[in-house]
Amino acid sequence: MATEFKHKDIIALRDLNKDEIELLISTAESMREVNSRSIKKVPTLRGKTIINLFYESSTRTRTSFEIAGKRLSADTVNIAPSNSSATKGETLSDTALNLLAMKPDIIVMRHAVSGSHYYLSKKVGCSIINAGDGAHEHPSQGLLDMLTIKDRFGRLDGLKVAIVGDITHSRVARSDIQGLTKMGSSIYLAGPPTMMPPGVERLGNVTVCGTMKEAIADADVVIMLRIQQERQGKTLMPNAREYSRYFGLNPENLKWAKPDAMVMHPGPINRGVELSSYVADGGQSHVLKQVENGVAVRMAMLYHVCGGELE
């Protein structure tokens, strides 16, 4: 495992190597101890300013980054597009340069355009953390998924991980694939052909399955993706009921996986569409554990980018 983290930004798990991912997960495990105390605060990032710039709506990720910053004693400021100048037509570049004049140390951004963080990183000198960019990556979700799986199995290598749903539009799937394949897991994908990106096998140890049964058979982990009705509209599937019949997880088809397989979902859940309530609230669901790990993982990311070198 690396003992030092040299990146100033975390934009994609694709940019990190196995050692760096292990370091982030290990730091997150230590950060969990802080979250279990009665005084949940350490002075580590005292005097640092973190701007959460969310161009897309988010509850979990934004709150989680905000809590993570506060537990490390940083000052966190949230900016949402509905009450920012973006509605008045300001460009991302202008917004960033204006924010930079306020001397933040880290900008955590979510943006609908894939790759916008790379553009921003060239414009500004502070650290950039990607909280989700279009259909590209969502590295903090990928890391917290890996931490949650490691909690359960003690390792990530040699596990069969099924990811089911709209792979094309899912930044969670991309970060999970980038991270988990580097750590030695095998990925099996299932979803309607209209939601399966061509050439996804080239990302590494990835198998595209024709049916959901093939993907989740003997799986150690089943990650169900949210059907993003706000993104693809109604063009990619006939209706939610038919989708649920072929690609929804319910107690019957969960039996295809290993008996103690874990079920994960990045949230928010469309109950009865991709995940039945019996499974979402059942004993194999780790959904709330994922959210809990999210704070620790984001503390680790903030901690390490603050010590990263300017590239």
Partner 1 sequence: MAGDTTKTVILDNSGIRRAMTRISHEILEKNKGLSNVVLIGIQSGGAHLAREISNCMELIEGERVPVGSVDITLYRDDFKSQAPHKSVGKTDITFSLEGKRVVLVDDVLYTGRTIRAAMDALMDYGRPQLIQLAVLIDRGHRELPIRADFVGRNVPTSQKENVEVLFDDKQQPVEVVLEK
Task: Closer to partner 1 by CB, 26 or 207: give it.
Answer: 26
| Packing angle, helices 92-100 and 116-123, rounded to 10 | 40
Decide: is 74 part of the binding site for partner 1 (CB under 8 A).
no
CA distance 141 to 57: 16
The residue range among 3-11, 131-139, 183-191, 196-204 that interacts with partner 1, by the rule CB under 8 A, is 3-11
Q: Is the peptide bond before 139 cis (omega within 30 degrees of 0)?
A: no
230 belongs to the binding site for partner 1 (CB under 8 A)? no
Stretch binding partner 1 (CB under 8 A), from 23-31, 80-88, 239-247, 249-257:
23-31
Which is nearer to partner 1, 4 or 157 (by Cβ)?
A: 4
Q: Select the residue interacting with partner 1 from 15, 18, 26, 100 (CB under 8 A).
A: 26
**Footprint on residues 252-311 left by partner 1 (CB under 8 A):** 300, 303-304, 306-310
The minimum distance between CB 21 and partner 1, in angstroms, equals 13
Half-sphere exposure of 250 (CA within 13 A, CB side): 10
Please report how close the Cβ of residue 22 comes to partner 1 at its closest, in angstroms: 9
Residue from 35, 44, 63, 250 binding partner 1 (CB under 8 A): 44
Q: Which strand (E) or helix (H) includes residue 92?
A: helix 92-100
Name which of 107 and 189 has its Cβ closer to partner 1: 107
Query: Residue 106 corresponds to which tokens in the numbers above?
Result: 């880290």
Mention every residue, 6+ apart, whose C-beta is less than 8 A from residue 37: none
| DSSP state at residue 88 | G
Three-state DSSP class for residue 235: coil
Neighbours of 213 (CB within 10 A): 12
Closest CA to 223 of 287, 168, 288: 287
- Rounded to 5°, angle at Cα 195 from 293 and 220: 40
Q: Is 6 among the residues that bind partner 1 (CB under 8 A)? A: yes
Stretch that binds partner 1, among 4-12, 61-69, 88-96, 276-284 (CB under 8 A): 4-12
Tokens of 102: 């306020």
Site track for partner 1 across 161-200, x = CB under 8 A: ----------------------------------------
* Angle made by CA atoms 275, 166, 255, in degrees to the nearest 5: 40
- Report the residue number, 3 or 83, with the smaller CB distance to partner 1: 3
H/E stretch holding 95 reads helix 92-100
Residue 44 or 232: which CB sits closer to partner 1?
44
Sole binder of partner 1 in the list 3, 82, 87, 239 (CB under 8 A): 3
Which residues would be at the binding site for partner 1 (CB under 8 A)? 1, 3-6, 23, 26-27, 29-31, 33-34, 37-39, 41-44, 72, 105, 300, 303-304, 306-310
